[in-house]
Structure 1
Amino acid sequence: MAAGPSATIGRSVIVRVPATSANLGPGFDTLGLALSLYDELHVTATDDADVIVEVHGIGEGEVPTDESNLVVRAIASAFAFYGQPLPGLRLVANNVIPHGRGLGSSGAAIVSGIMAAKGLLAGIVDIDAEALLALATAMEGHPDNVAPALFGGLTIAWVTPEGPQHKKLMVHRGVSPLVFVPEHTMSTSLARSLQPESVPHADAIFNVSRSALLVAALIQSPELLLAATEDKLHQNYRASAMPETNRLVTMLREHGHAAVVSGAGPSILVLSDDPSARLAAADLVAEHAETPWSPLMLAVDFKGATVVPHSVQSPLSS
């Protein structure tokens, strides 16, 4: 039986969700990494039917501030799935994850909404990790884009007849991520449209070997990251849509840096096994880039998304 509206009215939660980088080179639609760059969301359930959304930072003045807002849609989806009446909502979003640049901004918005629903429904409905991933994947379409945002660290995601699954792995402390963010954006749907329906058998074998090696490199042997991030399944096919991304990735790799396209691009992820190597990579891009790119010296996020009741300090983790 659904609880009455009064069960959630007056509740307030704070949600924090990390940026992510999917694919990581060879791990197309499978591997993802959570990064220490966070969107924060404040959500309050109110006793009216209104939805009020304030957006600060990235997306301010651009993203919808009504029921069509992606975060609101994710909250509504979770409430509907569990048969709970949706209260009025007041959202304040403080966004820092760049939009349209391959750092998981849409996945973060979806995860923010699902986690907000988890917090608002605490004690009424128990939304466990499996349900969180299923709800987020149903909206996003690909579990590799939401699994690292939900759970942190390095995630392997796959789909079974029972639904999406994931395995979280802890990344070696020697891995130092660096992200280069351009001023221009890239459409994920456009990037996917450039993928062929089939690939050569040899390329498939190549990527299977590199994906396996990449897991080992990230959790145990960072010195193998350059070889482990080689790819023949997706980056070359998308190169024509992101010429400068492709040129800079090629240049960085020629200088020994494990550079890949972050998600659908156009941002670039460099996985270093030495923090000082990140500085060298940043210098190379500053010297050779034809347009402005912002270097972000980040860490791997190991916690994933959290939701905290407004007056309580300890988080209800995913």
Structure 2
Amino acid sequence: MPLVRVPATTANLGPGFDTLGMALNLFDELIIEESSSPEIIITGEGEGTIPRGQENIAYRAARAVFTKVGRPPVPLKLEMHNSIPVARGLGSSAAALVAAIVGTNAILGEPLSPAELVNLATTLEGHPDNVAPAILGGLVASARDGEQVICRRLELPPGLVTVVAIPQFTLSTRVSRGVLPARVALEDAVFNISRVALLLAAVATGDLELMGRMMVDKLHQPYRLPLVPGMAEVFAAAREAGALAVTLSGSGPTVIAFCRGRQPEVGPAMAAAFARKGVKCTVKELAPCNHGAVVI
């Protein structure tokens, strides 16, 4: 009866659209075991809204592991305790399915390697930028190569702290992706490519100043501004309060600021900027998490 703990994740980090993701020190937990009949228990975030039938994303992910390893599926009992807000851009769906595949893999004797878990999770989620750091921890760069996902993990530099401002409204990935253009200008693509390269170099060398300078984007955040009231003002407020960088977390609506050490002024400044646009939010200070899903 494994207990699986999976971190929240923030994707894109500005320029790394669908490519970069980072684990954060906020966790969902899942207890999974074989049962006489399917059962799903949910407490915490999403308790009243997440489906409890076999269409539940975690339940479907668990069954996918049985299929992947050629074993007949059995009924499962899933007890989910969620601390990651749902549909806020912090990887809640990735955490749910990663917890399920890691837990099911443990029940079956761990027939799948971490790389195979990343591939399966990407197939289920549709993109690797959240599931890869949820499994591996740290900052992960990922790319699809045919049927395979190639990813490499970097440790986060010491001294890096994040502050997240989580609006009370939800924003689905489908809606947030729906506003993106099918084609972008060449100079915008080059802008992002160059910043991703230097961002990874900055993380590898522990250069927080350069990391912050490179966390800017022209491919997705400008198009998502209308979906998050006050987003531009929150970005400006976080920088003025001392943040090294500020980005949309995943597809939003959460905004995440990256700081050198604790910056007590950043969170209140972000909350005040949202409030001026009539948006209530919760502010959390989260350390980066250099480990991924663990079985306890």
- TM-score band (shorter)? over 0.9
Are 1:300 and 2:291 an aligned pair?
Answer: no
Picking from 21, 30, 51, the partner of 2:10 is 21
Determine the structure 2 residue equivalent to 1:192.
177
In structure 1, C-alpha distance between the alignment counterparts of 2:269 and 2:2, rounded to whole Å: 43
Q: Deviations over 1:199-230 (max 9, x none)?
A: 11111111111112222333320022331111
In structure 2, C-alpha distance between the alignment counterparts of 1:99 and 1:292, rounded to whole Å: 16
Picking from 45, 53, 66, the partner of 2:53 is 66
**Helix, strand or coil for the counterpart of 2:169?**
coil
AA aligned to 2:251 is A
Are 1:216 and 2:201 an aligned pair?
Answer: yes
TM-score relative to the length of structure 2 = 0.94
Map 1:118-137 → 2, pairs under 5 A: 118-122=105-109, 126-137=111-122
Determine the structure 2 residue equivalent to 1:312.
none
Are 1:45 and 2:45 an aligned pair?
Answer: no
In structure 1, C-alpha distance between the alignment counterparts of 2:196 and 2:159, rounded to whole Å: 19
AA aligned to 1:246 is A
AA aligned to 1:182 is P
AA aligned to 1:19 is A
> Offset of 1:68 from its aligned partner?
1.1
Picking from 56, 77, 101, the partner of 2:64 is 77
Map 1:112-151 → 2, pairs under 5 A: 112-122=99-109, 126-151=111-136
Q: Deviations over 1:50-99 (max 9, x none)?
A: 11111010111211112111111000011012121222211111100000
> Offset of 1:162 from its aligned partner?
4.3
Determine the structure 2 residue equivalent to 1:4.
none
In structure 2, C-alpha distance between the alignment counterparts of 1:246 and 1:119, rounded to whole Å: 44
In structure 2, C-alpha distance between the alignment counterparts of 1:203 and 1:254, rounded to whole Å: 26
Say which is worse superposed, 290-299 or 147-156, in terms of deviation: 290-299
In structure 1, C-alpha distance between the alignment counterparts of 2:7 and 2:248, rounded to whole Å: 18
**Helix, strand or coil for the counterpart of 1:99?**
coil
Determine the structure 1 residue equivalent to 2:272.
287
Determine the structure 1 residue equivalent to 2:252.
265
Q: Deviations over 1:275-302 (max 9, x none)?
A: 1x2x121131233322222111111111
In structure 2, C-alpha distance between the alignment counterparts of 1:75 and 1:166, rounded to whole Å: 23
Q: 2:180, 2:220 within 8 Å by CA — same for their partners in 1?
A: yes
Say which is worse superposed, 130-139 or 283-292, in terms of deviation: 283-292
In structure 1, C-alpha distance between the alignment counterparts of 2:225 and 2:103, rounded to whole Å: 37
Picking from 88, 93, 96, the partner of 2:80 is 93
In structure 2, C-alpha distance between the alignment counterparts of 1:301 and 1:272, rounded to whole Å: 15
In structure 2, C-alpha distance between the alignment counterparts of 1:213 and 1:14, rounded to whole Å: 38
Q: Deviations over 1:25-60 (max 9, x none)?
A: 0111110000010000011112x2x11111010111
AA aligned to 2:57 is L
Aligned length: 291
In structure 1, C-alpha distance between the alignment counterparts of 2:150 and 2:102, rounded to whole Å: 18
Determine the structure 2 residue equivalent to 1:235.
221
Picking from 139, 143, 154, the partner of 1:158 is 143
Picking from 23, 36, 42, the partner of 2:25 is 36
AA aligned to 1:42 is I
**Helix, strand or coil for the counterpart of 2:290?**
coil
AA aligned to 2:54 is E
AA aligned to 2:29 is E
Over the matched positions of the two proteins, sequence identity in percent amounts to 39
In structure 2, C-alpha distance between the alignment counterparts of 1:266 and 1:245, rounded to whole Å: 9
In structure 2, C-alpha distance between the alignment counterparts of 1:218 and 1:178, rounded to whole Å: 18
Say which is worse superposed, 159-168 or 238-247, in terms of deviation: 238-247
Structure 1, unaligned runs of 5 or more: 1-11, 309-318
> Offset of 1:256 from its aligned partner?
5.0
Q: 2:25, 2:286 within 8 Å by CA — same for their partners in 1?
A: yes
Q: 1:207, 1:233 within 8 Å by CA — same for their partners in 2?
A: yes
Structure exhibiting the larger radius of gyration computed from Cα positions:
1
AA aligned to 1:29 is D
Q: Show structure 1 runs of 4+ deviating over 6 A.
A: none
In structure 2, C-alpha distance between the alignment counterparts of 1:288 and 1:247, rounded to whole Å: 6
